[in-house]
A and B are shown apart, each in its own frame.
Chain A
Amino acid sequence: MNFDKELDARGLSCPLPILKTKKALADMTAGQVLKIVSTDNGAVKDMQAFASQTGNTLLSMVEASHEYTFYMQKK
């Protein structure tokens, strides 16, 4: 999956992954994709909620060895 920017949110707990995602998206243009890597178990649901409430699109989510990788497209 192509992405335009990467956010390493590993080791950060709620609500930091969401807050940093919002901040990172703010500097991007519509259609660009942000890759977020998180170790927070709650991030799975949080990212989905963030996408549905802000109108950004969660393209995909991959879980591998306790790390979650999200691809969020800016609306």
Chain B
Amino acid sequence: MAAKKMAIIASKGTLDMAYPPFILSSTAAALGYEVQVFFTFYGLQLLRKDLSSVMISPLANPAMPMPIPMPVMMQMLPGMESMATMMMKAKLKKHGVASLQELRDLCLEAEVKFVACQMTVDLFEFDKSEFIDNAEYGGAATFMEFAGNTDICLFI
């Protein structure tokens, strides 16, 4: 039986949305899937060499569990974003959830293929030297070739 395939399109760059693509792709790879992840738009942030800039905002995130109820007027105060990010990271660590760096390394070790959207790089005038070396650059048509033959295709 041929190996199953999975494609993920990662379009978000916040801390909460960074986990699903890395967790799903590393787990699928561990189960024998051939996996490719296409990073587009804000998903490019997840390919930075330094992942410490990936943050989460408490603002306009009504589904985010908060330790205390927080009115919107408070959410937008300077420093709240950094605090929410710090608290989230501490919570993740406390519960033994892998860091983004560790998950990404595990993906690469499991030979998950990372494709970065060339158009997004051009659009935001990103400097490729800021991204990890193991990412290829491609466009939608290139990705469609793989995505069209997958058993699981996800948009995150």
Contact = CB atoms under 8 A, between A and B. Distances in A.
Contacts of B32: 53-54
A12 interface: yes
Contacts, number: 39
Interface string A6-22: 00000111111011011
A15 B96 CA distance: 10
A50 interface: yes
Interface residues of A, number: 16
Chain A interface, >50% SS class: helix
26 contacts: A12-B96, A13-B95, A13-B96, A14-B27, A15-B23, A15-B26, A15-B27, A15-B30, A16-B96, A16-B97, A16-B98, A18-B27, A18-B31, A19-B26, A19-B27, A19-B30, A21-B30, A22-B110, A39-B96, A49-B31, A50-B30, A50-B31, A53-B31, A53-B32, A54-B31, A54-B32
Interface of B: 23, 26-27, 30-32, 95-98, 103, 106, 110
